[in-house]
Amino acid sequence: MKNTLCVLLLVCWSSLQCQTKQQTGDIEMLGEKLKRGDLSVNQVLSDPQWMSLHSQTSFRKIIEKNARAEKLVIVTPDEPGLKTTILGTITSPDGKPYANALVYMYQTSDKGWYADTAAHVLSKGSDIGHARLFGYVRTNHSGAFEMETIRPRGYPRSDLPAHIHILAWTSEGDELNGLPGELLFEEDDRLTPARKLEALNSGFLVSSNTGTAEKAVYRYNLVVRE
Tell me the per-residue pLDDT of 155-210, one tens digit each, with 9 for 90 and over.
999 999 999 999 999 999 999 999 999 999 999 999 999 999 999 999 999 999 99
Cα atoms in the Cβ-side hemisphere of radius 13 Å centred on 119: 8
Give the whole-angstrom CA distance, residue 188 versus residue 186: 6
- Please check whether residue 12 lies inside any domain of the structure: no
Tell me the per-residue pLDDT of 50-98, one tens digit each, with 9 for 90 and over.
999 999 999 999 999 999 999 999 999 999 999 999 999 999 999 999 9
- Please check whether residue 189 lies inside any domain of the structure: yes
- Please check whether residue 115 lies inside any domain of the structure: yes
Give the whole-angstrom CA distance, residue 103 versus residue 64: 9
Beta-strand pair 205-207/182-185: parallel
- Please check whether residue 3 lies inside any domain of the structure: no
**Counted domains in the chain:** 1
Of 32, 27, 19, 18, which is closest to residue 56 (Cα–Cα)?
27
The pLDDT of residue 125 is: 62
Give the whole-angstrom CA distance, residue 72 versus residue 46: 10
Asked if the model's pLDDT at residue 6 lies above 60, the reply is: no
Question: Which residues form the domain of 180?
Answer: 40-223
Q: What is the CATH number of the domain that holds 202?
A: 2.60.130.10
- Please check whether residue 24 lies inside any domain of the structure: no
Tell me the per-residue pLDDT of 114-137, one tens digit each, with 9 for 90 and over.
998 888 887 556 799 999 999 999
Asked if the model's pLDDT at residue 154 lies above 50, the reply is: yes
Q: 119-125, long-range: CB within 8 Å, 24+ apart, which pairs? A: 119/155, 119/156, 120/155, 121/55, 124/55
The size of the chain, in residues, is: 226
- Please check whether residue 55 lies inside any domain of the structure: yes
According to the 3-state scheme, what is the secondary structure of 120-166? CCHHHCCHHHCCCEEEEEECCCCCEEEEEEECCCCCCCCCCCCCEEE
- Please check whether residue 181 lies inside any domain of the structure: yes
- Please check whether residue 218 lies inside any domain of the structure: yes
